[in-house]
Amino acid sequence: MSRHAGVVGSPIAHSMSPVLHRAAYDALGLRDWTFYKDQVGAGDLAAYVARLPDDWVGLAVTMPLKEEALALGSVVGEEAALVGGANTLTRTDDGWRADNTDVHGLQQALQDAGLRPTPSAVVVGSGATARSALLALSRFGVREVCLVVRDRARPGAVALGERLGMAVTTSRYADGPAAWGAPGVVLSTVPSGATPAVDGWALPVGAVVFDVVYAGWPTPWAMHWRVGDVRVTRGDGMLLHQAVQQVRLMTGREAPVEAMSAALAASLGAASPGAASLGSTSPGSAR
């Protein structure tokens, strides 16, 4: 019997989810499975889901629909409930289950980038992805976090950080690096071109700078990093590992990580997820 799944959001043309899920289906021998990509705007997810035939088993959900996806869950996973947003819907006998696999994707990608337990972090942005980042960072022992935002931090991100036992401060882009300290990890959750200037910001040796953007690498923001012994990593590892978890949830099978990684790398023109990291750079070499 055929099965269908897909990814929805707006904009959606750039999504790599079809590449990842179709690679998984091929590797698992799921010949009757198909994966689609549909543009669905804010406020339209419930109507879209209601029209799906019974042979649809799941949806990957991207911005701006993650809060709407959470609201559709008759069952809600623990991480989705904590973060206040879901990026995965899977059909059950009792309706749709809402899960957040972004947390798993971020946690695994940060580990692959070399992040070790650290007490402090900076998160750029305060939206749904930033909330997922806070939960992932809490698992690396982060207890102090600064949310760097253009204007005001969203209350949900501040509340989640505090619920996780973090001391949360906020700072505006205009405040500049002098206000952001010397964290062990800096994680940007905003689109390319929307990040703050970081000229003159010195981070500790071994710090990790993680940019969730994976297309058009290196981003202008990544190129700003000129200090030595800082690893700058793009977000394709997060993309891979959140999709790995989605495949497990939708198919009930162990996801073929290597096949999915190879397919993503081929599409992005990189050797493997994370391979396009700038790595450690000497002063001025990233210019």
Q: Are the beta carbons of 136 and 107 closer than 8 angstroms?
A: yes
Would you state the structure tokens that stand for residue 215, as one six-digit string?
């297309």
Would you state the structure tokens that stand for residue 152, as one six-digit string?
């005001």
Assigned fold of 3-100+242-268? Rossmann fold (3.40.50)
At residue 272, the pLDDT reads 57
The CA distance from 160 to 174, in Å, is: 24
Q: Is 37 a catalytic residue?
A: no
The CA distance from 22 to 250, in Å, is: 13
Q: Are the beta carbons of 273 and 237 closer than 8 angstroms?
A: yes
Q: Are the beta carbons of 87 and 69 closer than 8 angstroms?
A: yes
Outline which parts of the chain fall under CATH 3.40.50.10860: 3-100+242-268
The conformation of residue 196, written as its DSSP 8-state character, comes to P
At residue 205, the pLDDT reads 87
At residue 214, the pLDDT reads 87
User: Which amino acid belongs to residue 274?
Assistant: G
Q: What is the pLDDT along the chain (287 residues), one digit of tens a residue?
A: 899 999 999 999 989 999 999 999 999 999 999 999 999 999 999 999 999 999 999 999 999 999 999 999 999 999 999 999 999 999 999 999 999 999 999 999 999 999 999 999 999 999 999 999 999 999 999 999 999 999 999 999 999 999 999 999 999 999 999 999 999 999 999 988 899 999 889 899 889 999 998 888 888 888 877 656 788 899 999 999 999 999 999 999 999 999 999 999 999 886 556 544 454 332 222 22
Which residue stretches of the chain are H helix? 17-28, 45-50, 66-72, 78-83, 102-112, 128-138, 155-163, 220-223, 236-251, 257-268
At residue 231, the pLDDT reads 86
Q: Please name the residues in contact with 260: beta carbons below 8 A apart, sequence gap of 6 or more.
A: 20, 23, 24, 27, 240, 243, 244, 247
At residue 126, the pLDDT reads 96
- Tell which CATH architecture fits domain 104-236: 3-Layer(aba) Sandwich (3.40)
Q: What is the pTM of this model?
A: 0.90
Catalytic position from the list 7, 61, 65, 66: 66
Would you state the structure tokens that stand for residue 101, as one six-digit string?
């696999």
